[in-house]
Amino acid sequence: MAYIEDKAEKQTGNPVTKHVFFILLSAGVLAGSMLFFAQDWRAELPTILFIAFVIGALILFVSKKTNPLGWKKILNKAEYDSIQSFDQAVSRKLAELNDSCFVLSNFSFELFNVDHLIVSENGIFVLGRVHHEEKLQVVSGALFAGDSSLEALTDRMWRLCHLINIIIRKGLKGLEIMPVPVLVVPDAHADAAHADVMEEFNGIAITPLSRLTDTISRKLAFPVNRDHAQGFAFYMKKMYM
């Protein structure tokens, strides 16, 4: 059984509530301080409020980048529940991997949200989840599930792979290991209605949930020194979990 650590399980409540409080508090303190020291607060009020708004917007942007699920829970509860249900199904499937695998889930890495990172002597994989059951298709060079664009997800996965590759090179004296990006989709994509299911997009492997463990442990496996894999997994756990 794989070693699994999920940062979302460590959090109590919705961290977005804390983020919103911090945004309001920061904007309020900044505006109050600038008003207090202003020579003519009435004349400077529009500028002060604009500066406070810009800083609050930047904090909000970072919060949404690092915790998209938390905001989804507030803005679209139905979709959040669907995402969570599929997340749990993927986690149960990943638990079937052997005990040489480290699975780190739902954490922020350099302002990017990571669904799952799998590290083992059989390879390093960046796993993205697609909970939509609609047919996958390519439109104008971008991947869609039905009418839902997956462009942001696929771009993020490749950015994560390159960032992880850089960290490995720096930490392991130039060792070149490029993680493999994998999209996991519901099993509905593998039924008769989706006989022409897509298996790859722009270098990203695509697999239905039922084939996930076989895809990672056999189809896409590549050798990684056991000590290097364990060292990298422990580093990521210490720094980001």
32-72 per-position pLDDT tens digit: 888 778 788 788 888 888 887 888 788 777 777 667 766 76
Q: Tell me the average pLDDT across 95-109.
A: 92
Q: Please report where in the chains the tokens 């079937």 appear, as a residue.
A: 96
| Residue pLDDT, tens place only, 77-86 | 777 788 888 9
Alpha carbon dihedral 201, 204, 209, 213, in 10-degree steps, equals: 140
Burial status of residue 10 (CB atoms within 10 A of its CB: 0-12, 13-18, 19 or more): exposed
pLDDT of residue 228: 92
User: Quick check: 194 and 171 in contact, CB under 8 A?
Assistant: no
- Higher-confidence residue: 150 or 65? 150
∠ CA(24), CA(25), CA(27), 5° rounding? 65
d(CA 183, CA 197): 13
| Residue pLDDT, tens place only, 167-222 | 999 888 878 999 999 999 998 766 644 456 689 999 999 999 999 999 999 999 99
DSSP 74-112: HH-HHHHHHHHHHHHHHHHHHTTS-TT-EEEEEEEETTE
Average pLDDT of the residues of the chain: 85
pLDDT of residue 192: 47
pLDDT of residue 108: 87
**0.75 cut: is pTM over it?**
yes
**Start-to-end C-alpha separation, the chain:** 20
